Every structure is written in structure tokens, then in C-alpha cells.
Amino acid sequence: MLAIYPDATDIICPLIRGGQFHNPVRITTTSLNCEKKAVCDINHFFSKEIGCMLQYSETDPNQVAFLWIHPEARDSSKEFQVPCIGACCFYRQESGYELQWVWLHPYWRGRGLLSEAWPKFISEFGEFDVEPPITKAMAAFLKKHGFKMTERFKHTQRMFLRYDSFDSRWASLESCR
């Protein structure tokens, strides 16, 4: 059962200081505290909905996060607070980067935000891996974008399916191909 529904009223989008933003905004250990805190808050929304903790640390230099700012607030003055509607996080492994988690506010899903950002991620991180568990929506996304499932990916997704096969959110291995 989903913990967060599209019409959920208890998702309070975190606010950051206004400015000239180009979505999604790159967040590292040297970013403003309010921006790192916004990634943390969205990481909690992800954990609550997906039921799986993938930690985000504001001080880990191996992590590079991205924040999606509300599209209507991208060019705002610094006196304003602007809402963040999603985030994702990449982690540097020895073998290269992997996308650990991604979460968009339900209202902003299916509007092409991740598709729009995908080329930017590929240009920065190359052929990155994606960390399971993979939801059905993400599997459909990856399939559309020609993502190649690695053996490690298959193994981890299989483990989640074995222990959480009752959970209809997870994508079957076949649907990830």
C-alpha cells in the first residue's frame, strides 16, 4: 500500500532561499545549509513512501544531490523562499557513480521532469548504475531510456523481490529489462 498518495496534503515542500535556478540544482557539501536540509527532508519523503532507508548525508563528499525547484519559482529574488518539489542523490562508488534514490512530489510526476534531467546526469556521471529497489514507475522510466541492467542490479532487485514480493510497488526483473 502506498504511504503517500497524489492528493496527500501532509507533504510540506521544503523551502530554500530564492535565486536564479536551473532545474535540477546541484547540491554538494559546500551548498547552502537550507539546500542540504531540503534534500534531507525529501529523502525522508522517499523513505516514507518507498519503505526503504537510503541515507543522505550533508557532509559526505561522495554524494552529489540534485534539487528540483518549483518551476514557477526558478527566477525569484533572494528575499523569497521557494519550494522544492523533488530531489535525487548520486553516490560515488569505486566502480563509478550510482543513482541511489529519486523522489518527486506526486503532483509533479509524469510531467517529464526526470526525463528532462536525464541527459544532464549522463553527461556528468557517464553510464551510472541505479540502486534497487526499483519501483514500477522507475522501471518503466529506465526501460524508456534504454537503461542496461547490470548483474549486481539484478541480484539486488531479486533480493528485494524475495523478501518483499507482496509489495506491488516493486518492479519484476522482467519489467526492468
Ligand X SMILES: CC(C)(COP(=O)(O)OP(=O)(O)OC[C@H]1O[C@@H](n2cnc3c(N)ncnc32)[C@H](O)[C@@H]1OP(=O)(O)O)[C@@H](O)C(=O)NCCC(=O)NCCS
Q: Which residues bind ligand X (CB under 6 A)?
A: 50, 102-104, 109-115, 134-135, 137-138, 140-141, 144
**Which residue's CB is nearer to ligand X, number 61 or number 110?**
110
Identify residue 6 by its one-letter amino acid code: P
**Which residue's CB is nearer to ligand X, number 92 or number 109?**
109
**Which residue's CB is nearer to ligand X, number 16 or number 134?**
134
Smallest distance, ligand X to C-beta of residue 22, A: 16
Smallest distance, ligand X to C-beta of residue 20, A: 22
Smallest distance, ligand X to C-beta of residue 79, A: 30
Smallest distance, ligand X to C-beta of residue 82, A: 19
Contacts of 25 (CB under 8 A, 6+ apart): 35, 66, 67, 68, 69
Contacts of 152 (CB under 8 A, 6+ apart): 129
Q: In terms of Cα–Cα distance, which of 132, 4, 136, 16 is closest to 85?
A: 16
User: Do residues 147 and 115 lie in contact, with contact meaning Cβ atoms separated by under 8 Å?
Assistant: no
**Which residue's CB is nearer to ligand X, number 17 or number 161?**
161
DSSP annotation of 110 = T
